[in-house]
Amino acid sequence: MVTIQTENFSLEQIWQSGQCFRMRQTEGVSEEFFREQITGRGEGRGYEIIAGHRYLEAFSLGERCMLSCSKEEYEDFWKGYFDLENDYNSYISRVDPGDGYLLSAASLGWGIRILKQDLWETLVSFLISQQNNIVRIRRCISNICRQYGEKRVSSGGKEYYAFPEPNALAGLKEDGLRECNLGYRSKYVVRAARSVASGETDLARICGMGYPEAKAELLKLFGVGEKVAECICLFALHHLEAFPVDTHISQAMEKHYKKGFPLKRYQGIQGVMQQYIFYYELHGAATDR
């Protein structure tokens, strides 16, 4: 077990930020370690995170966060996954003091970090995300993992399903994932699986590319448009200059940045600012009207 205390890190905000879809808030705390740690210390929140084939239980209490992994696994994977090596306070400090809207957004989303997720899982997740909502996306991904992913058991005895490999989906008919509630998105995922499984699309090669090149490669895939490519670049490849524009971001731009968002001012961290705006539009803007 690992206990960390890091500024600008909120599991709840990350869970609600629309980056990942195999993270959920849990009602109870199953690990005995957590029970021992939190007794008499106030109310906290538990989370279950599945990333690829890995499983993690986490519990946040104030500024402390307890993770159900070894120190080795934390250093090798989870520390990087949560992007805990970067200083997000320095990003917030770069917000234009004259931009009241972005100041409010960054203040509300103070604990968001850009996750470093698996490229294949993120590609499938955001193909499914098109014309969809977060609740349904989570359900669709849960369905395909249960149907086609490998069943595993965590060190604490929790059963879960790994994310299915491309080969597990490549042999399906194009409408084969409709039974998992993907609808017309089924053909996007199946064709992507075939492209990766056949070697036509080399994910390892894309991981080694810069932002413009990686985005161009992703756009070659059937069903991947501008927004999906930007999301994959940001949430899997960690190209922080990516700036996905969906309905929420578009509405914010029309209202607050009629001349366009000042991307040059935030060179290299445009995607971090995008997440603050996205989170604010979902969880804060309505209360300020």
Residue type, 213: E
What is the spatial distance between Cα 190 and Cα 193, in angstroms, rounded to a whole number?
5
Catalytic one among 158, 187, 220, 227? 227
Nearest to 278 by CA among 135, 270, 21: 270
Q: Which residues, 6 or more positions from 209, have their beta carbon under 8 angstroms from its beta carbon?
A: 217, 237
| 158 carries an active-site annotation | no
One DSSP character per residue, 118-163 reads: -HHHHHHHHHHTTT--HHHHHHHHHHHHHHHSPEEE-TTS-EEEPP
CB atoms within 10 A of CB 243: 19
| Torsion angle of C-alpha atoms 135, 140, 145, 147, degrees rounded to 10 | 140
Annotated catalytic residues are 227
